[in-house]
Amino acid sequence: MKPARIPLAATALGLYAFLYLPIAVVVVFSFNAARYNPAWEGFSLQWYAALLDNRAAQAAVRNTLILALSSTAVATVLGTLLGFGLSRYRFPGRNWVAQSLQVPVFIPDIVMAAALLLGFSLAREWTGRPQLGLTTMVLAHVSFQIPFVAVVVRARLAGLDPALEEAARDLGANSAQAFRHVTLPLILPGVLAAAMLALTLSLDDFVVSFFTSGPGSTTLPILIYSSVKRGLTPEINALATLMVVAAVLVAAVLSLYRRGADRA
């Protein structure tokens, strides 16, 4: 290795260690036989077995998946249509709508969470609904996912030649048919990327979920936060390890799919 590259390599190794050593510690201690003692007392799988009997953790996983998948599905459809409309149509207030998409991206999560909670409280006071729970959490997640989806899809559309859609219309297709058979297949990689981003944001969110949750709607981030307040147990380490493994598997599958698509 050239001497000039040594500081660069050392910096890279330091950054990787800063990012991944805490995760490695959580993974290692998920196999620690000790329950409360941070010292290593031997290898054990008992905490993974305990998760099978932990109904609170199982309910949190179920709620997390329901919340993430449902909000991502809704946000992907609405965000794609919004991005397409902003990219292909001209209407009064278009620039204002485009600029307003940046607001949920930049404002702090705590501000948006408080605003959503206030909005739900006012709606409940006026109409009696909705009660805080999975429904309000899905609505809240969709509200901050849509701007991200719209921005990604709009960026994808910016690189798409509008002449392709015009050619479809010249051949007799109406606007809906041109979008379905021409535009959507061409922007599908961008739509899938936006959906993955929305899914990641939902799985990662704590603040908005915490403010808009109700009885029986605890998600994994909320469960882990509550457990930390009472005292972190090895079961939480095991749960976090399974989440890391799931994330690695998803990333690996997507990487293999991308390589296969590039070769094709």
pLDDT digits (tens, 9 = 90+) for 21-57: 888 888 888 888 877 767 778 888 888 888 888 888 8
Closest to 206 in 3D by CA, of 224, 221, 223: 221
To the nearest whole number, what is the mean pLDDT of the chain?
Answer: 84
Please give the backbone phi and psi of residue 40, each rounded to the nearest 5 degrees, phi first. -75, 125
Q: Give yes or no for residue 263 having a pLDDT over 70.
A: no
Give CA angle at 261 (259, 264), nearest 5°: 110
Bond from prior residue into 130 cis (ω within 30 degrees of 0): yes
For residues 122-144, give the mean pLDDT. 89
Q: What is the pLDDT of residue 234?
A: 80
Band (pLDDT 50/70/90 cuts) for residue 140 is: very high
Lowest mean pLDDT segment, chosen from 104-108, 128-132, 174-178: 174-178
Lowest mean pLDDT segment, chosen from 35-39, 49-53, 213-217, 253-257: 35-39
Task: Give the C-alpha separation, 125 to 3, whole Å.
Answer: 68
Task: Give the C-alpha separation, 127 to 74, whole Å.
Answer: 24
Count of Cβ atoms closer than 10 Å to residue 140 Cβ: 26
Go through the domains of the chain in sequence order and give each one's CATH number. Answer: 42-263 (1.10.3720.10)
Give CA angle at 7 (5, 10), nearest 5°: 105
Residue 107, amino acid: I
Please give the backbone phi and psi of residue 255, each rounded to the nearest 5 degrees, phi first. -65, -40
